[in-house]
Chains A and B, each alone.
Chain A
Amino acid sequence: GESVGLHLPTLSVQEGDNSIINCAYSNSASDYFIWYKQESGKGPQFIIDIRSNMDKRQGQRVTVLLNKTVKHLSLQIAATQPGDSAVYFCAETPRSGGSYIPTFGRGTSLIVHP
Chain B
Amino acid sequence: DTGVSQDPRHKITKRGQNVTFRCDPISEHNRLYWYRQTLGQGPEFLTYFQNEAQLEKSRLLSDRFSAERPKGSFSTLEIQRTEQGDSAMYLCASSLASVISYNEQFFGPGTRLTVL
**What separation, in Å, do the CA atoms of A49 and B101 have in the docked complex?**
11
Closest CB in chain B relative to A17 CB, distance in Å = 25
Of A51, A96, A99, which one neighbours B31 at CB under 8 angstroms?
A99
Total B residues in contact with A, Cβ cutoff 8 Å: 29
Question: In the complex, what's the smallest C-beta–C-beta distance from B102 to chain A, in angstroms?
Answer: 4
Contacts of A96 in B (CB 8 A): 56
Stretch at the interface among B11-19, B41-49, B61-69, B70-78: B41-49
Q: Other than the known A89-B43, A99-B50, A107-B41, what 7 A-B pairs have Cβ atoms closer than 8 Å?
A: A44-B43, A46-B104, A96-B56, A97-B55, A99-B56, A106-B41, A107-B40
Interface residues of A (CB under 8 A from B): 7-8, 31-32, 34, 41-46, 49, 51, 89, 91, 93, 96-107
A-B residue pairs in contact (CB < 8 Å), sample of 26: A7-B39, A7-B40, A34-B102, A41-B109, A42-B110, A43-B2, A43-B91, A43-B107, A43-B109, A44-B91, A44-B107, A45-B2, A45-B107, A51-B102, A91-B42, A93-B102, A97-B55, A99-B31, A100-B101, A100-B103, A101-B33, A101-B56, A103-B45, A104-B43, A106-B40, A107-B41
